[in-house]
């Protein structure tokens, strides 16, 4: 079924009404679904007992697998509806590539199972990091590291997180923790925040570091559906509180993964891989399963404009997917790009709402500098390629 739209290409000053647009290709970059917290060593920071998970640290949870299977079925139904895929033709038309850690591999497998593609998930079967997804600086000169550090410090100093720090102090009861008694980590608001580059990795210290650690636990407790009196010990009850507190974790990501010039440097291998797919990929559907950090870096390096995801506390939500869609305008004989963020709300994730064609996930149109997008989110594919060539 062709998409029926009224769209405007500002560059051409052309108004085109009720045209049939045919979907030609989709390249999706996805975050893994619900995982356990990556750092389980948090007992120092609160006298309270932290909630536990059934899976190992950083692993996909059972609920995350269920939600990802549903997302796979939803995407499959959409691709069939748009006639991009035909049943029983998946081996030649679908390619799924995951970073080589458990949560991304298992997310990809769950997606493939839900979609019924019957294809193998490709990943590098090695204990070494996959360079396509690895988040490290590739340039290690002193001058560049100093430039990166300075840019991170400027951005860090632009945030005022004192109120969030004070509330986090109370939630974890930091002043009565072992961290306070033995290491003088008693008040996040008084700790000196800072940034550094260690072995190519961008790190933070002080209140923003510990706040990020606490929020990772609280969010995963919330997403995995733990009773509300267990999520942050029942201390976070309203969306307003969540927004206030997750500003800390989003600021941490902003400093480390949405700052120039480190964004292009760290995402260069992923960008090179995806650029090759955009230009030469012969499959109709590509899915890359990675992390929020990969999505942050890629969108930043491609100069995507700031965006808002309604009903979400994160800019790169659990299980969310950035869809780069290539459409063909048969009337004007031109190829178009549309970029959408397809995701579930924070509440949908917590409630275990399974995405479907009749109950679709939320979406937001994304736009980048250098590509003239119309009101329906379309720009010329050739302009997009020019943007890629100039990065």
Half-sphere exposure of residue 219: CA atoms within 13 angstroms, side-chain side? 27
Contacts of 333 (CB under 8 A, 6+ apart): none
**Which of these is catalytic: 216, 254, 265, 292?**
292
Beta carbons within 10 angstroms of residue 200's beta carbon = 15
- Full DSSP string of 146-203: HHHHHHHHHHHHT---HHHHHHHHHHHTGGGSHHHHHH----GGGS--EEEEETTEEE
**Which of these is catalytic: 32, 216, 224, 263?**
32
Which one-letter DSSP state was computed for residue 116?
Answer: T
292 catalytic residue (yes or no): yes
Cα gap 217→57, rounded to integer Å: 11
CA torsion sign for 272, 106, 63, 43 is negative
CB 303 within 8 A of CB 370: yes
- 3-class state of residue 35 by DSSP: strand
Cα gap 379→201, rounded to integer Å: 35
| Cα-to-chain-centroid distance, residue 147 | 26
Contacts of 4 (CB under 8 A, 6+ apart): 18, 19, 20
Cα gap 338→363, rounded to integer Å: 12
Specify the residue for token string 């267990």. Answer: 230
Specify the residue for token string 């636990």. Answer: 217
Largest CA distance in the chain: 72
Q: How many helices (DSSP H) and strands (DSSP E) are in the chain?
A: 13, 10
Which pair of structure tokens corresponds to residue 172?
Answer: 């974890």
User: 351: exposed, middle or buried (C-beta count within 10 Å: 0-12, 13-18, 19+)?
Assistant: exposed
Cα gap 378→301, rounded to integer Å: 20
Which residues are catalytically annotated? Answer: 32, 292
């Amino acid at each position: 079924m062709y998409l029926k739209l009224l769209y405007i290409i500002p560059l051409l000053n052309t108004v085109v009404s009720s045209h049939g647009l045919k979907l030609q290709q989709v390249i999706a970059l996805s975050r893994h679904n619900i995982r356990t917290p990556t750092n389980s060593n948090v007992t120092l920071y609160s006298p309270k007992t932290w909630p536990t998970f059934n899976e190992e640290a950083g692993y996909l949870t059972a609920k995350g697998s269920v939600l990802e299977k549903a997302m796979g079925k939803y995407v499959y139904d959409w691709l069939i509806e748009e006639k991009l895929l035909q049943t029983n033709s998946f081996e030649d038309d679908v390619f799924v590539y995951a970073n080589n850690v458990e949560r991304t591999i298992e997310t990809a497998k769950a997606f493939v199972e839900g979609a019924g593609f019957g294809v193998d998930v490709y990943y590098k079967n090695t204990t070494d990091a996959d360079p396509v997804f690895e988040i490290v600086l590739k340039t290690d000169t002193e001058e560049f590291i100093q430039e990166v550090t300075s840019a991170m410090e400027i951005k860090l100093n632009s945030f005022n997180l004192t109120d969030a720090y004070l509330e986090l102090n109370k939630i974890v009861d930091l002043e009565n923790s072992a961290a306070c008694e033995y290491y003088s980590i008693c008040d996040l608001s008084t700790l000196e925040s800072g940034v550094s580059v260690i072995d190519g990795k961008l790190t933070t210290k002080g209140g923003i570091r510990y706040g990020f650690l606490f929020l990772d636990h609280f969010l995963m407790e919330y997403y995995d559906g733990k009773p509300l009196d267990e999520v942050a010990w029942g201390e976070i009850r309203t969306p307003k509180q969540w927004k206030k507190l997750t500003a800390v974790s989003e600021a941490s990501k902003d400093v480390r993964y949405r700052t120039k010039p480190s964004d292009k440097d760290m995402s260069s291998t992923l960008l090179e891989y995806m650029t090759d797919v955009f230009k030469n990929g012969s499959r109709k559907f590509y899915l890359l399963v990675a992390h929020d950090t990969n999505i942050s870096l890629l969108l930043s390096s491609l100069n995507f404009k700031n965006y808002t995801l309604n009903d979400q506390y994160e800019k790169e939500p659990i299980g969310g997917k950035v869809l780069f869609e290539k459409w063909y305008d048969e009337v004007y004989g031109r190829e178009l790009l549309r970029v959408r963020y397809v995701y579930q709300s924070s509440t949908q994730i917590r409630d275990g709402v399974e995405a479907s064609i009749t109950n679709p996930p939320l979406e937001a149109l994304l736009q980048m500098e250098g590509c003239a997008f119309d009101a329906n989110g379309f720009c010329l594919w050739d302009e997009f390629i020019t943007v890629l060539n100039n990065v």
